[in-house]
Amino acid sequence: MNPRRKKRLVFASALIGGVAAIASLLIYALNSNLDLFFTATEVVQGRDNGLKPEVGQRIRIGGMVVEGSVERDPSSLKIAFQVADTGPAVTVLYDGMLPDLFREGQGIVAQGTLVEPTVLEASEVLAKHDENYMSPEIAEAMGKNHEQMEYSDEQKGGGY
């Protein structure tokens, strides 16, 4: 093999190896930051495919705040409440300012770490933006048809 071909082969091999290394590092970084979405029932019982979150895993949980479950610490911003869809409830612990739209019976999504099989320590709590909207994942889990739900003019894009 002549020296010119040998140089090209080494260069091509190094280029392919470098691209493969960058791609594998990128995939690893994305997997470590991936937060899976679960409903309260899926956290407790697992999904149909057998996927169940483990203690210590970062997840997002969605559902409705159970009526009468909100407990506030009067001396701090700590709050505990339960989230449920159609099945068992999961307790969410949060320390911080809640969204203005947060209330019992409200749909929420909480992101955090599962500290016990049915307890989530939330780092972020998001409340839905009005009484008609429900995320497709929560609507599907609760057995509602998301497309048939009524929307306000603002949600349809008609009002400002």
- What are the tens digits of pLDDT across the range 99-157? 888 888 888 999 999 999 889 999 999 887 655 556 676 667 666 544 444 444 444 44
Average pLDDT in the 51-67 region? 88
Q: In this predicted structure, what is the pLDDT of residue 150?
A: 46
User: Which residue type occupies 129?
Assistant: H
Residue 132: strand, helix, or coil: coil
Can you give the pTM of this predicted structure?
0.63
